Amino acid sequence: MTTPETGSNQEQNAPTPARSPSRAKQTLEWFWRGDALAEKKSALGELGARAALLAQRARASANLALNSAELARNVDAVGATGASEASETLADACASELYRQSCYWSLCAIAATSDESAGRSYVDAIWDTLDEKLLTNAAPGERSEVLRANLRNGSFVHFAELPASEQAAIREELRKLAESLVLGVDARNRAVQRILLERTWRLSLLALVVLLIAAGAVWERKTREARNDLAQGAPWRTSSQYMLNNCVSPAQECAEGGSVFFHTNEEKDPWIEFDLGKEQEISTVQIDNRLDCCSERTTPLIVEVSQNHKKWSTVARQDTEFKTWRATFTPTKARWVRLRVRKVTYLHLARVHIFP
């Protein structure tokens, strides 16, 4: 009789431990906040259409209460005596009723998450659902019972008949309670908005970092090319000179040149030639054409190199009009580099770079 290998079976049936997310997923979640957003929505629940409508009413009533003071002051008072005081008490009465309405709609919005009939008619029992802590925070001590009574029995007539000092006090207490209830109803939206704001800021930070890296890479490439530019400081001469519209060699930027640093006469096969000072290996020549006009004059353009200033070899040719032409060719040794147009024309360029 064979004894079953219980230990082996238990090991085979043991649940596989949950695999922790990879570093890439963790990084993505830190920026996107997708799991946190889903978790928050699930924990707070979805605000139904009815509850959302009631919450909107609560916010609107509270906003109207804030503006009621200004509206009340614009009401024409009967007679001049006591007009200012009448406007103030009217403002407090109007605001109190609107804040009370806001409290009612907020409590109905909370109830609507489980009862779709909430808020369809006035139900006095809704006040029994009010959180006692919110009530005492808005009206501490004995004032909490006064506030409770005003919530149940209040109306625009009731508030208007209260003494002026009591109107001001109850208005302030109702305001605090209404704002606390609206914040509670909007808790889900505010929590979601906080996470979405975190996502926005973190993605903005990521975009800024990427932008800085890209800008740094461009700057590093430009500075590296500038350091390696063999044409920088290399003396040059041209086949002819058109009036005085030329920089003085070896400059390629000057006030006299304007949009170009040299300008030949109209002639057959005009050229510009650079002396690198010694034989060097080159593989790229970049030519920036004149941009303000006449860029078609520069084609067909050939790049020639020479080691002894007698024998020239063509290493690149451009037959179509261009703004910038970066000619790359097999690395070759040369001391002189010449750019020549194969036709009767003027030659003028904005910049020439020569790279190893």
The pLDDT of residue 32 is 83
DSSP string computed for 148-187: HHHHHH--HHHHHTS-HHHHHHHHHHHHHHHHHHHHHHTH
Closest CA to 170 of 144, 190, 200, 206: 144
In a domain, 1, yes or no: no
Query: How many angstroms separate the CA atoms of 294 and 242, rounded?
Result: 15
- 66 lies in the same domain as 157: yes
pLDDT band (50, 70, 90) for residue 46: low
Domain closes at, from 156, 172, 189 = 189
* Cα distances (Å, whole numbers) of residue 15 to 7, 11, 18: 14, 9, 9
- 153 lies in the same domain as 274: no
Is the bond preceding 235 in cis, omega lying within 30 degrees of 0? no
In a domain, 313, yes or no: yes
Global pTM reads: 0.48
pLDDT band (50, 70, 90) for residue 78: very low
In a domain, 185, yes or no: yes
Q: What is the mean pLDDT of residues 246-261?
A: 88
Q: What is the mean pLDDT of residues 278-289?
A: 95
Query: How many angstroms separate the CA atoms of 171 and 97, rounded?
Result: 8
Closest CA to 135 of 158, 118, 152: 152
- 143 lies in the same domain as 271: no
- 64 lies in the same domain as 159: yes
Closest CA to 174 of 317, 321, 58, 305: 58
Tally of domains within the chain = 2
pLDDT single digits (tens) 162-200: 998 999 999 999 999 999 999 888 877 777 778 888 889
In a domain, 73, yes or no: yes
- Residue 71's domain comprises 27-189
- 179 lies in the same domain as 303: no
pLDDT band (50, 70, 90) for residue 81: very low
- 182 lies in the same domain as 322: no
The pLDDT of residue 336 is 97
Q: What is the mean pLDDT of residues 92-104?
A: 92
In a domain, 230, yes or no: no
Domain closes at, from 155, 173, 189 = 189
pLDDT single digits (tens) 112-125: 888 888 899 999 99
